[in-house]
Chain A
Amino acid sequence: MVIYGVYIVNKSGGLIFNLDHNLPKIETEKTFSYPLDINLDYEGKKVSVAFGQRDGINVGHTLISVNGVHVNGTALEDGRDAKEVIENKDNYPLTLKFSRPKMTTNEKIFLASMFYPLFAIASQLSPEPKSSGIEVLEADTFRLHCFQTLTGVKFMIVAENLQPGIDVLLRRIYELYADYVLKNPFYSLEMPIRCELFDTNLQALLDQVEKGGVVSA
């Protein structure tokens, strides 16, 4: 049982809750000699791999440290520019550490609001009448389950592909939401959820599910 994350989106498409549950950390460290056999892309705010996958370093991974020195964006923590260090022959051999880019909170909010029109268009482009929006979206690495309540709140779970029982889990989370969020007098509707009781209960529920315990309704 692996659940990667839980998202709750309000009826206007804003992310009001997010929990990363079991995100795998993908990091690879490797010592390189000159010249570098992977192509790096220095555009934008980060250094990422553009071409040349090898030894677990894949296209799209970002550089997080050089010789153990952490990289902030395109600059090293000690102030040197990453590009200059990597392109200088005298610095080799170099130990570079790459990781799959982690989503920032901003990116998560962006993605949550991006799902909203996808959900709506899926129902508009339906070949059958009266179709709902996307309920299950499957990719090769994960499966996203979405449950929309009558009031328009969407609960989403990103889980492993062949994970059964997610539908029940979604309704259990809805129950927790109704119990601990909506009954909280300090919570204003549509706003981000910051309720301690909800956090602890949700965590307990996910732990229970992950241990293989059947979710009882």
Chain B
Amino acid sequence: MTICNLYIFDKYGTLLYYGEWNRLKHSGITKDEEAKLMYGMLFSIKSFVSKISPMDPKAGFLHYKTNKYALNYLELPSGVKFVLNTDNTSTGIREFLQTIYSKLWVEYVVRNPLWTMGTPVTSDLFEAKLNEFVKQSPLYGSKII
């Protein structure tokens, strides 16, 4: 049970927030480039999923897993995208992401009059609340090496 990192994108692909907890490997490119690569990959996965799906998809892409980690994806109708990397055995991450959206994002970012839409979030309050929330979650366990 580990939470590695969290990306929040808006509908235009701007990285609004990046949080990191247990990350052992860095991709070797700048954060900006990494965000673009991540958004590009998600965009392609979305189109891939909508084409290869045998039925009409509703929520579309949910998550993928490799042998080391799982990438969980939550997209809201407004186009805000939450991407959370965890280890590949955790469950209930979708609900966790939905709570981050409704209890933290809406409360401390959307309702903050000093935040302009489409710009990276710099609010200390959001960051502190998010950290607190993540660290209290049962998903956030100690890293087994």
Contact = CB atoms under 8 A, between A and B. Distances in A.
Interface of A: 4-5, 23-24, 26, 58, 60-61, 100, 103, 107, 111, 114-115, 117-118, 121-142, 144, 158
Given A26-B55, A125-B41, A140 B60 contact: yes
B54 A141 contact: yes
Contact of B54 (A124, A134, A158): A158
A135 B65 contact: yes
A127 B25 contact: yes
Contacts of B27: 124-125
Interface string B34-55: 1001101100110011111111
B114 interface: no
A141 B56 contact: yes
B11 interface: no
Given A128-B4, A132-B66, A137-B61, A142 B54 contact: yes
Contacts of A144: 52
B57 interface: yes
Nearest to A120: B41
B54 A122 contact: no
Contact of A122 (B48, B50, B64): B64
Interface stretch (B67-75, B121-129, B132-140): B67-75
A123 B45 CA distance: 14
A131 B56 contact: no
B110 interface: no
B5 interface: yes
B69 A128 contact: yes
Task: Please tell me the size bucket of the interface on B.
Answer: 35 or more
B53 A139 contact: yes
A142 B87 CA distance: 22
A135 to B, nearest CB: 6
A127 B4 contact: yes
Nearest to B4: A127
B64 A138 contact: yes
Contact of B60 (A111, A129, A133, A139): A139
B62 interface: yes
Interface in B1-34: 4-5, 22-25, 27, 34
The 4 A-B residue pairs with the shortest CB-CB distance, nearest first, are A127-B4, A131-B68, A128-B68, A137-B64
8 contacts: A4-B54, A26-B55, A103-B52, A134-B64, A137-B61, A137-B65, A140-B59, A142-B52
Given A121-B41, A122-B71, A131-B66, 20 more contacts: A100-B56, A103-B51, A111-B52, A118-B44, A118-B45, A118-B48, A125-B38, A125-B41, A126-B85, A127-B4, A128-B69, A128-B87, A131-B68, A132-B67, A134-B64, A135-B65, A135-B66, A137-B63, A138-B61, A158-B52
A125 B34 contact: yes
Contacts of A24: 54-55
A59 B7 CA distance: 29
B58 interface: yes
A114 B44 contact: yes
A44 B74 CA distance: 31
Contacts of A118: 41, 44-45, 48
* Highest count of chain A CB atoms <10 Å: which of B37, B57, B59, B60: B57
